Amino acid sequence: MDLRAVRPSLRNQFSGVQTNRAVAGEPARWSRANNTNLFRTIKEPKCQMWNHTLELLIIVKSAFRNKKARDAIRRTWATHRIRSAVEVVFIVGKNNDADVINDKIVLDEIQEHGDLLYVDVIDTYRNNTLKLYEGWMFNTTPFRFGFHKHAVSLAMYPFDRYPPYITAGAVLLSRNSFVQFYHAMQIVKIYPYDDVYAGILAYLLKILPTHNKAFVFWSRYISKEEWILGDVIAAHGFSPSRLLEEFPLLVQDS
């Protein structure tokens, strides 16, 4: 059964009525699928995310343990943005071995940089959607093999196809789409894979995900010319050491 063939009238009702009512501040007629009261923010970043001068908000999902990667970003492309118009925020969950010492490590980082959104969610792969909620193409088949990292049971997802979605890496959303996604997440049950979940929301909202070849997902060699000419805007898979090594070469002549 393909999700796209299921009850189109239900899809129209959801996208055309429920989200618009929520955006307008009116009560929704559908019950909430997610208890958002359980999603708690421990510490918010210092930036003013929705001020009138902000043109671009870059949200980076970052694991608790990946401070070196965050520091590499801070020392490279995050320092070369137009500060009045662009903000970079890292979403970090709690360590599996949460204790006072680990908590202090993150709080010290927040105190030093002020760019962390620290959320009360255990930092595991399947909690990425919860991290996405706190902060936001391929038509594929769910994995049914029980031992696979991305295994999905029929109870979790009863359809045999996903709607089009943009695979994890980098996603660009307009402010209007961001607001619609936020309100839709109140109604649509959380799904553990955040990129697929975003595709489900986009499908219900009649937003067509569009692939941009300048967003590179698979790790590969990228030349300086590709960056300068705009053939590559964002790339996945840079280690902290590689980022620190290559970024100065990119900006030295610019």
3-state DSSP assignment of residue 191: coil
Q: What is the pLDDT of residues 226-245, one digit of tens each?
A: 998 999 999 888 899 999 99
Q: Do 152 and 202 reside in the same domain of the chain?
A: yes
Mean of the per-residue pLDDT values of the chain: 77
Q: Same domain, yes or no, for 140 and 170?
A: yes
Could you tell me if residue 230 is inside a domain?
A: yes
pLDDT in tens, 80-137: 665 667 889 998 888 776 566 677 888 899 999 989 988 888 777 666 666 665 554 3
C-alpha span between 227 and 202 (Å, rounded): 29
Task: Tell me: pLDDT of 3 over 60.
Answer: no
228 in the same domain as 206: no
What pTM did the predictor assign?
A: 0.68
Percent of the chain with pLDDT over 90: 13
The reply to whether 88 falls in a domain is yes
Do 105 and 140 have their domain in common? no
- Residue labelled with tokens 């620190």: 244
The residue from 119, 142, 172 where one domain ends is 119
Give the per-residue pLDDT at 70.
Answer: 95
Q: Residue 47: its pLDDT value, please?
A: 65
pLDDT in the model for residue 39: 65
Same domain, 96 and 161: no
Is there a domain that residue 45 lies in?
yes
Instruction: Choose one of 119, 144, 159: the last residue of a domain.
Output: 119
E runs forming strands in the chain: 41-43, 56-61, 86-94, 116-122, 215-216, 234-235
Q: Is the pLDDT of residue 5 over 80?
A: no
User: pLDDT at residue 139 above 60?
Assistant: no
Q: What is the pLDDT of residue 71?
A: 96
Q: What tens digit of pLDDT does each residue of 30-67 get?
A: 566 666 666 677 888 876 555 567 788 888 988 888 99
- Looking at the fold, whether 198 and 231 belong to one and the same domain comes out as no
What is the distance in angstroms between the CA of the first residue and the CA of the last residue of the chain? 52
Q: Which of 119, 152, 176 is the last residue of a domain?
A: 119
Question: Is residue 5 assigned to a domain?
Answer: no
Domain encompassing residue 231: 215-251
For residues 139 and 106, state if they share a domain.
no
Do 168 and 182 share a domain, yes or no?
A: yes
Q: What is the largest CA-CA distance in the chain?
A: 57
pLDDT of residue 241: 93
Q: Is 33 part of any domain?
A: no
In a domain, 17, yes or no: no
Q: Is 161 a domain residue?
A: yes
Tell me the average pLDDT across 215-221: 83
Q: Is 81 found in the same domain as 150?
A: no
Considering the domain architecture, whether residues 111 and 139 belong to the same structural domain is answered as no
Read off the pLDDT band of 72 (50, 70, 90): very high
For residue 91, the model assigns a pLDDT of 87
CB atoms within 10 A of CB 23: 14
Number of domains comprising the chain: 3
Pair (147, 201) in one structural domain: yes
Q: Do 137 and 96 share a domain, yes or no?
A: no
Residue 22 lies in a domain: no
Distance CA 253, CA 213 (A): 25
Q: How many CB atoms lie within 10 A of CB 16?
A: 12
